[in-house]
Amino acid sequence: MNPPPDLSICIVSYNARAYLRACLDSILENTHRVTCEIILVDNHSEDGSADMLAERYPQVHCIRNQHNDGFARPANRAIAVSRGRHILLLNPDSLVLGDALEQLVRFLDENPAVGIVGPRILNRNGSLQRQCRRSEGRPWDAFCYLTGLSGLFPHDRRFSGYLMSYLDEETLHEVQAVSGACMLVRREVFDQVGVLDERFFAYQEDSDLCYRVRQAGWKVF
């Protein structure tokens, strides 16, 4: 049997054909110094996504759902068949720039106390997508975010805790949670704390995972 790849890239997709080609091409064009497999779960798309994958990307392992099962459950299906040392959850509308995935793998390999790492996620205009790092969403943080206090005082940690906008955007930080839009998880983490909680249809399953991981003694960066 071949050794496990360095990286299992797990993508959940629903009617995302317009984005998938660019996403997959960016992975294949920019990821060369780590071995990887790509597993995609299609949530019963009606735009021909799965057929396009079979025709253009035979190297992608495509799992076809019979229903739209949200995010957590399909992601767990992909994780269950993955073989990589590390598992990347990646949204289908993402573009991988340069050696970003190789840097993430290297960071986990060089920092054994870290269970999860997320990258700087950029909007199309190059600005930081602020949701890529955040707190656990405790009541005060959520209140400040939802009422706009965090926007009024973005650099005051008393009010801007949810999106941690008081942190420097260009610097590495230990945080409470990162976004499941692009999240690299050490396989031992899933083995220890379990996979995504399927009671979350979509959204906040990433924060819940990060919370459980930190409770188990791992760090999130």
List pLDDT tens digits, range 148-194: 888 888 888 888 878 888 888 888 999 999 999 999 999 999 999 99
Helix (H), strand (E) counts: the chain: 8, 9
Q: Which residue, 98, 121, 118, is CA-closest to 108?
A: 118
Q: Which residue, 99, 84, 124, 106, is CA-closest to 32?
A: 99
Angle subtended by helix axes 49-56 and 17-30, to nearest 10 = 30
Q: In sequence order, what DSSP letters do the residues of 94-128 get, joined into one string?
A: ----TTHHHHHHHHHHH-TTEEEE-PPPB-TTS-B
pLDDT of residue 78: 96
Confidence category of residue 21, pLDDT binned at 50, 70, 90: very high
Cα–Cα distance, 78 to 68 (Å, whole number)? 15
pLDDT of residue 1: 66
In this structure, of 49-63, 79-93, 110-124, 140-154, the range with the lowest mean pLDDT score is 140-154
Identify whether the C-beta of residue 202 lies closer than 8 Å to the C-beta of residue 69.
no
Q: Could you say which DSSP state residue 162 is in?
A: T
Each residue of 42-75: pLDDT tens digit? 999 999 998 999 999 999 999 999 989 889 999 9
Instruction: Please count the other Cβ atoms lying within 10 Å of the Cβ belonging to residue 119.
Output: 21
Cα–Cα distance, 64 to 44 (Å, whole number)? 7
Rounded to 10 degrees, what is the CA torsion of 128, 131, 134, 138? Answer: 150
48 Cβ contact list (under 8 Å, min separation 6):
17
- pTM, whole model, 2 decimals? 0.91
Greatest pairwise CA separation for the chain in angstroms: 56
Higher-confidence residue of 38 and 126: namely: 38
Cα–Cα distance, 198 to 77 (Å, whole number)? 11
Higher-confidence residue of 221 and 158: namely: 221
**Region 80-102 average pLDDT:** 96
